[in-house]
Structure 1
Amino acid sequence: MNKSIPIKEILVEDGAVKSIAHVMEKVGVGHSKVMVVCDDNTYKAAGSCVISQLKDGGFDATECVLERDGMLVPDEGALGEILIKMQKDVKFLVAVGSGTINDLVRFISFKTDRPYGIVATAPSMDGYASSVSPLIFKGFKRTYPAVYPVFIIGDVDIISRAPYDMVTAGFGDILGKYTSLADWYISSLVADEAYSEDIASLVKISIEKCVKASRGIVNRDKKAVKELMEALVTSGIAMLQFGNSRPASGAEHHLSHYLEMKEISSGVERHFHGTKVGVMSAIVSAIYHYIFSLAPDEVERLMSNRASQTREEYELRIKSTYGAMADEVLRDLNNFYLDEGKRRQRQDKIRDNWERMKKWVEENVPSGAHIRGILREISAPEMPDEIGVNRQLLGDALLNAKEVRQRYTILRLAEDIGLSTEKILEAVLKH
């Protein structure tokens, strides 16, 4: 692992959880009061062992177990429960879990100025090393500033026994980097966003590690699971080094976040975030290859015929789509993409960089069919209908998910050149 990062200890190996007391001492925690945060599932997987190991190591360890009938949601209720259960003299937090637990504890750590470490229970997402927390606030999923962990422990014995859909979710999260890197690259050319080739290379390493491990994942081969976990941590390190999630999150994540908000508001059964990311990365890849198959004169024709949207039309769409969350969406975006002067500037850059972007996509973004093939190899969902997304919902997401963030993606580029959602949906379903 890269030792220049601020995380003091990263330990991914068999039996790593037994070293937690030693790791705590090594990173300078001291024998202060510790609160271990987990849910009822992660308590059984590793939480009880963590508490036992800490107590045997001389730590005053208390616990906060978030018990839920269904999946734990990272919302105001969960945050409040942790704060209520946290005693005033707690000096350090230990998160035991994966995505949701880590996001909750990371945010609490940031807000209360108490450092934390994470003991992973599944290789299910790439946020272990990041410094942001995707949380649900008033039903709207957005990313909040947080803080990186002091240490990351991934006990391969534990994570290799995680539910298989959590393992494939982590795999899907990494495959999403194919398209998130593409979004980052085109944004650097079209929207003048800062871009780092060194950090992009780090993300590419995580993709290579993940794909390399694919054949062993199905059999829960420990070496393959270790490779996957290291890929997830590497991706998180890239975000940490850049300062936000841009290197590892693009349109495929926006689509996933949008679907998650719809699921939460309707109360339907949810799939893991990384599972959606994997499926949506194939969708976004198909969009990339369709758009960059267009001839420059066709792009020019689309731009010339593009109809502007009035503020009233735009706000009506947002309000009808996002309901009670609409005001927050409108406030965050601040009508940024309604500015036709800025759009014309982006269109000029699209023209100027068309062949350069096309070449980059051809060399770096595998086809949607190829991504689906990789997912199929590990018996993970590959098609939208496998995660409960029908044609209507997919079209709805393609139209509205770009409003989740102001970030420039291929969905914004499609909007800039004047491609309709119907045309994009038709092209996606053919690929």
Structure 2
Amino acid sequence: MSDALDAALARATDTRDVVVGRGVLTEAGRRIADVLGQGPYVVVADENTWAVAGEALTASLRAAGCALAEPLVFPGRPALYASYDNCLTVGERLGDATAIALGAGTLNDLSKLASHEHGRPYAVVGTAASMDGYTGFGAPMEADGVKITRPCPAPAVAVLDLDVVAAAPGFLTASGYGDLAAKIPGGADWILADVTEVEPIDTAVWGMVQGGVAMALARPSDLAAGDPDAFAGLVEGLALSGLAMQAYAGTRPASGAEHYFSHLWELDHLGADLDPPLSHGFKVGIGSLAMCAFHEVLVERDFAAIDLEAAAAARTPWDRIEADIRDTFTGALADNAVKETRAKYVTGDDLVARLRPLVDDWPSVRERLRTQLVTSAELAGMLAAAGAPSRPEDIGLTAADVRATFPRAMYYRSRYTALDVAWELGLFQELVDDTFTRLWV
């Protein structure tokens, strides 16, 4: 285990062991038993992940003296979805056993939330470098037409065999690459929240994620070729991202506005009818491109020249904003967006006070943002080399579709991002227009 993983585990609240390396699947039973005891265990898989590693994991658990209940193996087709009814299915199977998720995002999230609701820990054995949620706190789950991240503890043990994940279908690796690339614009959003004192940066947690992102994203072509040695940085980067979420007890270290594009497209069932369905990481990758482009035009503006008192006086009243939200969304999603947007809405002197540090120190803030960001063109090249979507059309969208998602993403969550900065300064629509006029024509 690397020094970075050791340091992150020292801050983690739930995970006590992370195993990353070639051939470590054979150690899974012993490492899980050392932390969680002899069981009984229920392996939660689908037909695809069971075929890849089910027998090897079972053999490793038996060799460690663990008791095994009947595994829960979901069908391999259609692809499993992170919906609460599937979570209930996992919970019903557990009985007095402990879950071991064998798979990636959805299987991990279902096992995570079901285990939490039954008051016990769980373990995960990853089969693809497809997302950063392996060691993450919380589980994105859809219920009643709204997808939210439900609070629940991360796994006690995570085992990630580089030979197994390197042999996974290339689209899964590309998905993980897209998810990790989101840390670039997500980090820029956190810088803005830090400067405005809405959500100060935890420097130790920041380092867990941002310290390894550049290395983890540095070999996209080798990842696309399935070179196991190239996966060490990507897999560790994904694991560190999840551990950072644990340490922070929230998802801010790993996501910003780019994830809201993905969540909204998921709620619209974008690509759900494909085989395989369009992945979270693919949608996040396009959301990251959109936000890198938005940041690109934002940092070119001279915020130091802005009259904050005039901006505050021009702030749209809340009743008009709520009406616009209810025109933008329907049903439970509208109610949720109203609640989330109201939580971050300020006016008058409070708005001036929030934005004053940003305006007064804009040259240094701009430099911090430029250091954090890559251009949308650079990011598109990186995504393409990894085999991930690099333009809206790659996931069945047009530039106009992405453009229409910007106001929905701003309203969707209370988390403070570049979208909110532009909105509060009265520049939101202007910057969106500039993004699509100059960069995404």
How high is the TM-score relative to the length of structure 1? 0.92
Alignment of 1:347-386 (within 5 A): 347-386=355-394
Q: Who is 2:201 aligned against?
A: 195
How far apart are residue 249 of structure 1 and its match? 0.5
Following TM superposition, the consecutive aligned residue runs of length 4 or more in structure 1 with deviations greater than 6 angstroms are none
Distance 1:83 1:125 in 2: 23
- Assess, with a 3 A threshold, how the Cα gap between structure 1 residues 115 and 340 changes in structure 2: closer, same or farther: same
Tell me, in whole angstroms, the C-alpha distance in 1 between the residues paired with 2:340 and 2:415: 9
Matches of 1:232 and 1:186 in 2, distance apart?
23
Q: Is contact 1:303–1:418 with CA below 8 Å preserved after alignment?
A: no
Deviation at 1:305, TM superposition (A): 9.3
CA distance in 2, matches of 1:358, 1:333: 28
- Which residue does 1:206 correspond to in 2? 212
| 2:418 is aligned with 1:410 | yes
8 Å Cα contact 1:175/1:278 also seen in 2: yes
Q: Tell me how far apart the structure 1 counterparts of residues 371 and 309 of structure 2 sit (CA, whole Å).
A: 25
Greater shift, 210-219 or 35-44, is seen at 210-219
In structure 2, relative to structure 1, the CA distance for the partners of 1:260 and 1:107 (3 Å cut) is same
Q: Are positions 1:37 and 2:37 aligned together?
A: no
Instruction: Report whether the alignment pairs 1:295 with 2:302.
Output: yes
1:180-220 deviations in Å (ceiling 9; x for gaps): 11111110111431212232222122312212332311211
- How many angstroms apart in 2 are the aligned matches of 1:296 and 1:187? 16
- Please name the residue that 1:80 is paired with: 88
Question: What is the CA deviation profile of residues 95-136 of structure 1, one whole-angstrom value per residue up to 9, with x for unaligned ones?
Answer: 111111111111122221211111001001111111111111
Matches within 5 A, 1:6-405: 6=12, 7-27=15-35, 29-61=36-68, 62-67=70-75, 69-87=77-95, 89-90=96-97, 92-263=98-269, 268-269=273-274, 270-296=277-303, 299-300=306-307, 304=311, 307-330=314-337, 332-333=339-340, 335-341=342-348, 342-405=350-413
TM-score with structure 2 length normalisation?
A: 0.90
**Secondary structure, counterpart of 1:95 in structure 2:** strand
User: What are the ranges of 5 or more consecutive residues in structure 2 without an aligned counterpart?
Assistant: none
Residue 316 of structure 2 aligns with an amino acid whose one-letter code is Q
Partners of 2:76 and 2:227 lie apart in 1 by 31
Identity, % of aligned positions: 25
SS in 2 for 1:77: helix
Equivalenced residues, count: 427
Query: Deviation at 1:52?
Result: 3.7
Counterpart CA distance in 2 for 1:273 and 1:422 is 29
Matching residue's letter, 1:286 = A
Which amino acid in the other structure matches residue 148 of structure 1? A
Q: Tell me, in whole angstroms, the C-alpha distance in 2 between the residues paired with 1:348 and 1:298.
A: 12
CA distance in 1 between counterparts of 2:224 and 2:313 reads 47
185-194 or 320-329, which deviates more: 320-329
Structure 1 alignment gaps of length 5 or more: none
CA offset at residue 37 of structure 1? 0.9
The amino acid of 2:103's aligned partner reads G
Matched residue SS, 2:158: strand
- Whole-angstrom distance in 2 between the partners of 1:170 and 1:132: 18
Q: Is the 8 A contact 1:75 1:136 kept in 2?
A: yes
The amino acid of 1:38's aligned partner reads: A
Structure-2 separation of matches of 1:220 and 1:48: 23
Q: Note the aligned Cα RMSD (angstroms).
A: 2.4
What is the deviation of 1:301?
9.0
Q: Is the 8 A contact 1:37 1:93 kept in 2?
A: yes
Q: Which sits farther off after the overlay, 197-206 or 214-223?
A: 197-206
Name the amino acid aligned to 2:204.
D
